Amino acid sequence: MSSESEEPRLEKLASYVLWTLVDHMDYPELHALAQCSKTLHANIDVFLYKREKKDGKHKALHYAVDKMQDDDGVRTITKLTEHVELVDRVAYFNVRFDHDGGYSHPLHIAAMRNHPKQVRKLLELGADARAMCRNLMPLVSRSQRQSLRAMRLDQILKSCGWSATLIPLMRDKLDICRLIYQRHPSAILARSLSESGRAITTHHLTVIQDRLDILDEALRFHPGDVNVQTPNTGQTPLHLAISHERPILCERLIHFTTLNGIFNNDGANVLHLAIEETYLTDDAPRRRWLAQVVGRLLAHGADPNESKANLLRPSPLLLATEAVRYDWYRVWREVKTIIDLLLQHGADVNRADGSGSTPLTTVVKRIIRDKDSGSMKTMFLDLVEKHGADVNLRPQFVGQPLKSIMFRLIDAPRMVALCKKVVMLGGRVAQHEKCEYDLIGLHGSEISDQDINQAYEYALAHANQKSLQRLQGSGRPYEGGDTRLVWRHLLVSGARLPAFTRTRLQPDWRYVDAHTGMSLLHMVVSKAAMGGEYTEEMAVSDVKVLTGTQRAWGCLVMFRDPEGKTALDRVVDMGERFQQLRGELANKHRLQAKRPDLCQAARDLEQGWLQDQQNQ
């Protein structure tokens, strides 16, 4: 602690000595020292601005908004202003402070630190209320970070530009929000830097925080932002209201939100989400509320037939019947209510998804698995008898009809009673399925070679070992070869080119699909890009089989699809992915390119496909 005799010495220091102190001390120490010296306290603003100009980092301004109390910070900002040229003020008070992984501005820091007087002063001095900062997560306090994590926004915000109102609104500092909003009236709190049109809005945040008063204000002044989707997840405010169980807010948003055509990153619109949440929750009151939400959505115009925007594209009714795959006996009352609501509003009971599943086949599979004779069976019969579900409908999957319902029931144990009921309702076994039962003595009719071939191909295309063993055990060989069977194998997710096609079939390896103009190699590349169970190693193995060897070349790597690209070009377009597949195709391309006859054959295939298209 300084003595009285030392104080005059500090007061009598020359200005260049004081400048040396200011220029070399840390800001916390400097401000503490200024409290001990009247001379330094009176002149510190001059020295600070001089240092600002020298190092160009504006550390005094940063320290004022970040570390000082609100009033002290305003005084420092005011003193600094006296030394800033009028033409330089806007640039000075919008300076960018870089930090690890992002950057900030003085206004954002002052707002985040809950300094309303500093915010007001900065806005008066020209701070831009519209400016966005990037990734303020390293700067937020521990409690603010915990709040963002609890709202599941912390990871999303790392790739967003932040508005100055985000943290104050989250912390309910409405006085700061109003100051900034007066200068820039916007509902956007954070904007995605990589996804066009995606943002976090006031509507999203108030739904998460269950603030009806602020949501009403946002809907009144910014109704057009009610359909904005969050970055990374694609949630609208109504999606969030459903998933966070906000009954009052949900009812309010239904009147403003577009209910069709907006899907989150899982492919679900608000109707799909409400249906799926119903059978995924363990809470009975929540399930009952979600069933009511489905009714409200349908009453306000939600499309009961709009498919989910994912790979399989199931309809809302099919999603509802998917409940049989979960704890059906716990959720069946609410799910049955939803199914009835969908059917009342015109849901197509026979609509299939991309895998060929319909509501009826989904239910019957589970009935067979659980040997159910209660509520599932009742629902199955209601769909047929009361709502017109086609018991003989066999949708196509990659060009092949799926099993009939009668076939499934006959093939299942303890389904005799339901099987008889389905027969009374008009259920029939398909012709190629009938062949299998003829072979084991169920019908005894004469079976043609064509029927045998069709039964073989059906069993192979669906990897049905049980059916294949029946056919092989009959002593009737497979006599035929259909290149489309190979195509179907490659289309089915997770399936590889079966060994059977190499030993029993003599297909045209240079087959070109009539609709897409793609070769079998293009299909391998396309399927590898989809991911899933089909790995790069599987794709490389299939390429080796399809292209053959120099003694007997099969698929031609030089063949170009309608866009003028070979299968190798398609892999190259994917960048660094699939290096093994790229190497295998490049090697085959190099070897085949040495053969002029193969190059000509590839051109002939391209011209042949174009000619077929023109003839059609």
Q: So where are the chain's domains? A: 261-429, 481-615
Residue 225: pLDDT over 90: yes
Residue 454: pLDDT over 60: yes
**Beta strands 396-397 and 400-401, pairing class:** antiparallel
Cβ within 8 Å of residue 435, ≥6 positions away: 447, 451, 452, 454, 455
Per-residue pLDDT band for 531 (boundaries 50, 70, 90) equals confident
Q: What is the mean pLDDT of the chain?
A: 82
For 432-468, the three-class secondary structure string (H helix, E strand, C coil) is HHHHHHHHCCCCCCCCCHHHHHHHHHHHHHCCCHHHH
pLDDT at position 2 is: 46
pTM above 0.75, yes or no: no
CATH tag, 261-429: 1.25.40.20
Residue 168: pLDDT over 60: yes
Digit-coded pLDDT (tens) for 391-412: 888 776 555 566 778 777 777 7
pLDDT at position 224 is: 92
pLDDT at position 44 is: 60
Q: Could you please report the per-residue DSSP string of 27-87?
A: HHHHHHHHTT-HHHHHHHHHHHHHHHHHHSS-HHHHHHHHTS-HHHHHHHHHHHHHTS-GG
Digit-coded pLDDT (tens) for 240-298: 999 999 999 999 999 999 999 999 999 999 999 999 999 889 899 999 999 999 999 99
Digit-coded pLDDT (tens) for 586-611: 999 999 988 989 999 989 988 888 88
The DSSP output letter for 135 is: -
Q: What interhelical angle do 38-55 and 15-24 show, nearest 10?
A: 60
Per-residue pLDDT band for 577 (boundaries 50, 70, 90) equals confident
**Beta strands 199-201 and 396-397, pairing class:** unpaired
